[in-house]
Amino acid sequence: MADKYDIIRDQAVAWAIRTRSADFADWEDFTLWLEADPLHNKAYEQLLSAEDQYVDLIEDAVSNNESATVPPQPANDEFVAPGIEPNRRRVLFGAIAASLVVAVSAGMWTQMPQPYDIITAPGQREIVALPDGSKISLNGDTKIALDHKKPRYARLEHGEALFTVVHDDDRPFIVDTADIRLVDAGTEFNVISNAQTLDVAVSEGLVIFNPDRENVSLAAGKRLYRPTPESRATVSTVAVQQVGAWRTGRLSFAGETMNEVAEALGRNLGADITVSERIAARPFSGVIQISDGDAQNMEPIAAVLGVQAKKQGKGWILIGDDAVP
């Protein structure tokens, strides 16, 4: 497994490559990544510092080889006001910055352990930027395996992740999880995977479920759900605005069991939430808006679920209204 600091450094390089693009607009997620861990900002600043040092070396080399005689300015050159000279450092930086970052990235990309894991604790979130512009948003209690030799491949070991994939006809993005494969050519889709449940929801583009077996096409607004590995997967509709809404604290359910609801709450809140056996299979449909303080007081959420929340150790247990824990 790759060292945590190597992974963060590599993510910083990926963000640096993306932010160099003239049409980069994903500043919100970039800011969230910087704020998620103090080490993120430190790694990004160190990368920029390395670029500055490289620029200084190039600038010194150019200066030492320049003739002391300044060539005459052609008559058709743009006028420069007296006393104002172009910022050579800025010009140099603009000319080589992108290639520098790509070069640094290539070195890191090939020297990092293959593959490597990114793991989030319950209640923790992470945004992983990939060099091609794709990104993966990880919810809490999630483990994903990536491989620098296969930059358009990921294996979701468990948890929840939202994949935002840059289109490439020649290289589809592949996600493996449990015993299934998802193939995507450029889209946004959310995946929940654990020992039992598989839940795939698409908000944009097209995803192929197990192309070598079932070969089910999931277009935007479609959801594939499989409650157990032995069950047959079913396809239904889903509101595209609900896909990945967990990033804003909005959890949507459509017939999930109380066990699955508790798992989602624990993943997002970082709390240990269990369910009494009597209500574990009870279905729930609805929307829950969560906030940071809910981990300390589950009673309002329990009321929405139509159950009770009782303290149990350091966590909570959900029980029926007529039951005792």
Q: Give the tens place of pLDDT for each residue, 250-296.
A: 999 999 999 999 999 999 999 999 999 999 999 999 999 998 888 99
Cβ burial 211-224 (10 Å sphere, 16+ → b, else e): eeeeeeebebbbbb
Range(s) for CATH 3.55.50.30 in the chain?
249-319
Whole-number Å distance between alpha carbons of 16 and 105: 9
Task: Note whether 187 and 221 are within 8 A (CB).
Answer: no
User: Does residue 196 surpass a pLDDT of 80?
Assistant: yes
Report pLDDT digits (tens) over 41-58. Answer: 787 777 777 655 554 555
182: Cβ–Cβ under 8 A, 6 or more apart, which residues? 174, 175, 176, 189, 191, 200, 207, 208, 209
Mean pLDDT of the 149-178 span: 93
Q: pLDDT tier at 86 (50, 70, 90 boundaries)?
A: very low
- Amino acid, res. 300: P
Query: Domain 249-319 has what CATH class?
Result: alpha beta
Query: Domain 116-241 has what CATH class?
Result: mainly beta
Range(s) for CATH 2.60.120.1440 in the chain?
116-241
Element (H, E) at 17: helix 4-19
User: Does residue 158 surpass a pLDDT of 80?
Assistant: yes
Whole-number Å distance between alpha carbons of 304 and 99: 54
Whole-number Å distance between alpha carbons of 130 and 133: 6
Residue 170, classified by CB atoms within 10 Å of its CB into exposed (0-12), middle (13-18) or buried (19+), is: exposed
Mean pLDDT of the 303-322 span: 92
Report pLDDT digits (tens) over 100-109. Answer: 444 444 444 4
With pLDDT > 70 as the criterion, what percentage of the chain qualifies?
Answer: 75
User: Does residue 165 surpass a pLDDT of 70?
Assistant: yes
Helix (H, G, I), strand (E, B) or coil at 213: coil
CA angle, residues 209, 138, 251, in degrees to nearest 5:
80
Mean pLDDT of the chain: 80
Task: Note whether 318 and 258 are within 8 A (CB).
Answer: yes
Whole-number Å distance between alpha carbons of 221 and 189: 10
- How distant is the alpha carbon of residue 278 from its chain centre? 36
